[in-house]
Amino acid sequence: MEYLIGIQGPDFVLVAADNVAASSIIQMKHDYDKMFKLSEKILLLCVGEAGDTVQFAEYIQKNVQLYKMRNGYELSPSAAANFTRKNLADYLRSRTPYHVNLLLAGYDDADGPGLYYMDYLSSLAKAPFAAHGYGAFLTLSILDRHYRPDLTRDEALDLLKKCVEELRKRFILNLHSFTVRLIDKEGIHDLEKLTAGAK
């Protein structure tokens, strides 16, 4: 039902998420933001079971901010991803596992951009591009075909638009609009939303 996508370039990460908050067959909200800002250069995209997403993402968000307050410097994206994975793993075999699928995108001043794919079974993989949701079945092959490690920002945005276009054409659900954000060494930038009107 929900869709997340991330594309890593040589010095940036481009991420997008759909804007629908649904409850059984009804769209309750058309402009819901599924991205959580963990720090100045890290975004956590979170989809999954209704309450678990916000609870888990806010828990991670507050812990990352606490780390910064205690130690005076921010966690790197790789450390934040591993911390998130550890929390998912700890809760996995408890009474209350969190059923959430995540993409963590960040820019490290030392290591450069990074995109981390995590799922509800607490697997973790650093990937050049990734997607979550039923829409991933339709768009991963487009990414496989057209992705190059040296994409420019415009090319990455075009690739993202190709994926969204394919969803609009073939996906049974109506995902009307997508929030798009770009992370680079300057921080997180909001790009224009992709809506049904735009190409």
The binding site for another protein (CB under 8 A) comprises 21, 23-26, 28-29, 32, 49-55, 95-96
Residue 10 or residue 51: which is nearer to another protein going by CB?
51
Least gap, CB of 121 to another protein (angstroms): 18
Residue 31 or residue 40: which is nearer to another protein going by CB?
31
Least gap, CB of 37 to another protein (angstroms): 17
Residue 53 or residue 122: which is nearer to another protein going by CB?
53
Q: 100: left (phi > 0), else alpha (psi -120 to 50), else beta?
A: beta
Least gap, CB of 84 to another protein (angstroms): 18
Cβ neighbors of 167 (< 8 A, separation 6 or more) are: 3, 135, 138, 139, 175
Give the bridge partners for 21, in sequence order: 29
Query: Contact, 40 vs 105, CB < 8 A?
Result: no
Residue 32 or residue 83: which is nearer to another protein going by CB?
32
Least gap, CB of 51 to another protein (angstroms): 1
Cβ neighbors of 62 (< 8 A, separation 6 or more) are: none
